[in-house]
């Protein structure tokens, strides 16, 4: 069993989510539970990311601390993740990445943060076929690697799983890469191949990973979900209880976006506007009676009516029961200052959709807290 999974990104989230799922599937010993190990790729110049890659290159694995409450039960355990078999730097190890794409890779996973899909004007079509130089942007890196695959292994199956928190992330990344291929005047046969032969998965990830461990590792809550939209020829990196295949990904996305993400962003808004303690965590905010009451009112008066209109009332109530337990987790140092990074953009992504949907479904719904935050 080789390194069948190529992963762009070294984030603590991936360490405690996809990588851990693959590790647990590999450790089960059951045939077919996982495709193989992971080749992890550092795509940025971040010093912290470089330290993680250096630590992972030793092959010792890394700790993931699972801490929190689930159905009232206290969970506090540490597991060792051993899925990452190679850790590379894109710039220094580009020839190895090209070789992997021409051989063992069957799945690509990415989590490249808020700016990961931005293009770089210094990337151009001369990079295609040049084994010495890696493109600067993630979309261009992916395009060059896919072109290499098309030339050398066009019939082999390949599924691509973006994990960025972008609506219909698979479709979005596919269109971005295809448009860049057309801009670079690459062959139409290749563009058709990357659109139609490659399987681009739309998916939703949901797990609070609050802290990074040094030099590599993470602290995460017990709850985890990877909801993936069903489609033909989809090749999963592994089988796992937290992976859910669904015909209605939007239902899962709404629950997370309108309840968890909107809740986090509302707390961050209050943290910024009220001048609250710089080190305040989500759990501390949830234990402030006045702020908790405002958050509950936001959910009850401004969000749950939207779920009622969509026929998801019971689902939303069940999700909220679990969500309260997650946000009250006393073990996670999930700082509101961290959630408040890129706050203006997050407000538009996380609060704007529920307001727009309310305008369409429930004209006249006040949503005073959400609208004030967006104003």
Alpha helix ranges (H) inside 229-351: 249-255, 262-274, 282-286, 289-297, 304-310, 313-327, 336-339, 343-350
Q: Residue ranges per domain, the chain? A: 5-247, 250-374
Query: Does residue 53 register a pLDDT over 80?
Result: yes
The packing angle between helices 138-152 and 94-101, to 10°, is: 50
**Residue 58 DSSP code:** T
> What pLDDT, on a 0 to 100 scale, did the predictor assign at position 141?
97
> What pLDDT, on a 0 to 100 scale, did the predictor assign at position 48?
83
Residue 174 three-state SS: helix
pLDDT in tens, 128-163: 989 999 999 999 999 999 999 999 999 999 999 999
Superfamily per CATH, domain 5-247: NAD(P)-binding Rossmann-like Domain (3.40.50.720)
pLDDT mean across residues, the chain: 95
Counting beta carbons within 10 angstroms of the beta carbon of residue 167, is it exposed (0 to 12), middle (13 to 18) or buried (19 or more)? middle
H or E stretch at 28: none
Q: What is the DSSP string of 188-210?
A: HHHHHHHHHTSEE--EEEE--EE
Terminal-residue alpha carbon distance, the chain: 53
Assess contact for 52 and 81: CB atoms under 8 A.
no
Entry pTM: 0.93
> What pLDDT, on a 0 to 100 scale, did the predictor assign at position 27?
94
Could you tell me which residues come within 8 angstroms of residue 90 by beta carbon, excluding any fewer than 6 positions away?
41, 42, 43, 97, 134, 141
The packing angle between helices 138-152 and 188-196, to 10°, is: 100
> What pLDDT, on a 0 to 100 scale, did the predictor assign at position 1?
61
Query: Does residue 334 register a pLDDT over 80?
Result: yes
Could you tell me which residues come within 8 angstroms of residue 186 by beta carbon, excluding any fewer than 6 positions away?
125, 128, 147
Cα 224 to Cα 67, 70, 122, 315: the distances in Å are 12, 11, 38, 17
């Amino acid at each position: 069993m080789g390194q069948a999974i190529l992963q762009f990104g070294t984030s603590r989230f991936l360490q405690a989510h996809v990588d851990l799922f693959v590790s647990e599937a590999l450790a089960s010993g059951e045939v077919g539970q996982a495709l193989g190990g992971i080749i992890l790729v550092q795509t940025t110049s971040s010093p912290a990311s470089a330290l993680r890659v250096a630590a992972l290159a030793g092959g010792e694995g890394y700790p993931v601390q699972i801490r929190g409450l689930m159905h009232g039960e206290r969970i506090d355990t540490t597991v060792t993740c051993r899925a990452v078999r190679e850790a590379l730097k894109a710039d220094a190890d580009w020839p190895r990445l090209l070789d992997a794409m021409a051989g063992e890779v069957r799945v690509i996973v990415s989590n490249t943060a808020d700016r990961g899909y931005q293009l770089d004007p210094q990337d151009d079509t001369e990079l295609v076929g040049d084994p010495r130089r890696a493109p600067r942007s993630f979309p261009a890196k992916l395009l060059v690697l896919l072109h290499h695959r098309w030339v050398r292994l066009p019939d082999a199956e390949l599924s691509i799983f973006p994990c960025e928190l972008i609506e219909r992330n698979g479709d979005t990344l596919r269109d971005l890469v295809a448009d860049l291929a057309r801009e670079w005047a690459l062959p139409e046969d290749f563009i058709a191949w990357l659109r139609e032969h490659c399987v681009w998965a739309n998916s939703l990830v949901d797990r609070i990973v609050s802290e990074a461990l040094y030099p590599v590792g993470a602290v995460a809550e017990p709850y985890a979900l990877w909801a993936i939209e069903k489609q033909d020829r989809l090749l999963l990196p592994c089988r796992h209880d937290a992976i859910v295949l669904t015909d209605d990904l939007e239902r899962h996305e709404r629950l997370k976006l309108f309840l968890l993400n909107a809740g986090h962003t509302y707390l961050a808004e209050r943290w910024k506007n009220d001048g609250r303690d710089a080190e305040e965590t989500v759990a501390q905010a949830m234990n402030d009676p006045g702020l908790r009451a405002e958050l509950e009112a936001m959910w009850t008066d401004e969000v749950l009516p939207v779920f009622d209109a969509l026929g998801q009332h019971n689902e939303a109530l069940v999700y909220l029961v679990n969500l309260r337990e997650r946000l009250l987790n006393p073990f996670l140092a999930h700082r509101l200052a961290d959630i408040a990074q890129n706050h203006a953009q997050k407000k538009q992504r996380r609060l704007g959709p529920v307001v727009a949907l309310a305008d369409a479904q429930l004209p006249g719904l006040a949503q005073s807290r959400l609208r004030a935050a967006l104003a």
